[in-house]
Structure formats: structure tokens, C-alpha cells
Chain A
Amino acid sequence: KAGVTQTPRYLIKTRGQQVTLSCSPISGHRSVSWYQQTPGQGLQFLFEYFSETQRNKGNFPGRFSGRQFSNSRSEMNVSTLELGDSALYLCASSLAFSGGEQYFGPGTRLTVT
């Protein structure tokens, strides 16, 4: 069974630009969560989707948004990029509605210059 896939794997953007990251969960998984990982703050929760509905949102500005499609694939968008948005963006999928085992993808490394 294929794992969680994320595209692109690496991305370099300029301040002020916007970016869209994509995540395909494990087949059959309907829960997708997004996390930001930085050396200073560690892994921080961005948002969670289940069956195309956002169920939870972390403490990030409105520049960070996401959505989930009917096939459970998810995208996250960051508008008006700032230098501090440079991070590893990780997607995790779960079969369960709550409290399930979560499996992470390899991440998208975003560098903002």
C-alpha cells in the first residue's frame, strides 16, 4: 500500500509570493492534517480535514489556508510569504475519525528568500 505522498518535495519562493502544497493520503484514509516543522518551534499543528470539512485549526495567521477534495487529497496554501514561513511542511493521514494512528509523508521543504 502506498504511503502518504507530498508534492513538491522542495520549493524556493520569494517574499510576497504565494505557494500551494499538495498531499495525497494513504488509500482509504479520510483524515488529513498539516503541520509546520521548524528548528525553533518544532512540529506545530496547522489544520485538520475530514471528509472535506476543516475540523481543527492551529494558531497560524489567515495567510495559511487549506482544503480537502472529495478523493481526500488535500492542499494547503500560504499567501504573501514571509521569511519566517521557511519550514518543512508535513502532511499526515489517518483512517480514524478521532484518535487514530497518523502516518506522515516525507514533507515539502519550503525556502523563502
Chain B
Amino acid sequence: QKEVEQDPGPLSVPEGAIVSLNCTYSNSAFQYFMWYRQYSRKGPELLMYTYSSGNKEDGRFTAQVDKSSKYISLFIRDSQPSDSATYLCAMARAAGNKLTFGGGTRVLVKP
């Protein structure tokens, strides 16, 4: 079993809809949680960074972390065709900067 599980999708939504993404994990040592967006043949782009449990909002993006359930989420409001990409969750322990990634969810926003 992988340490971080993420539904590969694809997730297809109409323009303007809310995109809901999530990851589950098994290692309770993870303390830092990140979401990345990756366009085809590009490097991952950091979208959201959170520490421990709670919510964080940045523009159209909201990240939620529930450490008791070992579950994290990313919501994208008012989705645009330019949001079509693969979204990766990543986690790190308290020591070091090693990231453990989910497999990524491919999202398609249709005009």
C-alpha cells in the first residue's frame, strides 16, 4: 500500500464548477502538506502549503487538512479551462524536506 493515495481521475467538470480533490495518507508523521499543479511536460508548480490541521484559502483555492482522518483536500472555485492540469498532493515530515507525493489527479475543465 502506498503512503499517499490519490484518485488518478480524470475528473471532468464544466467551466465555473467547483473542483474537489483529495488525498489520504497512512503515515501520521507527516506534518506539512502541499498541493502542486503540473501542466504537461512542465515542472510542478506550488499552489498551496499548509502546516498541520486546518483550512487555508488563497484566491480561488482552498486547502483543508484533517490529520485525525489522515485526509487532505483542495477545492478550486470558479474553475477555468486553464485549470486543466494534473494536481499532485505532497507531504513532508517534521525533519528534512523530503516530499512524498500522491500519484496525481488529472483534471479537465470544459468550456
Cα(A109)–Cα(B96), bound, Å: 26
A68 contacts the other chain (Cβ, under 8 Å)?
Answer: no
Main secondary structure of the interface of A (DSSP, over half): strand
Size of interface on B: residues with Cβ below 8 Å to A? 27
Q: Which residues of B contact A42 (CB under 8 A)?
A: 101-104
What 0/1 readout, one digit per residue, does chain B (74-110) give for beta carbons within 8 Å of chain A? 0000000000000010101111111111111000000
Q: Could you tell me the distance in whole angstroms from the C-beta of A63 to the nearest C-beta in chain B?
A: 20
Q: Which residues of B contact A107 (CB under 8 A)?
A: 42-43
Across the A-B interface, how many residue pairs have beta carbons closer than 8 Å?
A: 70
Query: Judging by beta carbons under 8 Å apart, are B43 and A99 in contact?
Result: no
Query: Judging by beta carbons under 8 Å apart, are A99 and B34 in contact?
Result: no
Cα(A42)–Cα(B5), bound, Å: 12
Chain A interface (Cβ < 8 Å from any Cβ of B): 4, 31, 33, 35, 42-45, 48, 50, 55-56, 58, 88, 90, 92, 94, 96-107, 109
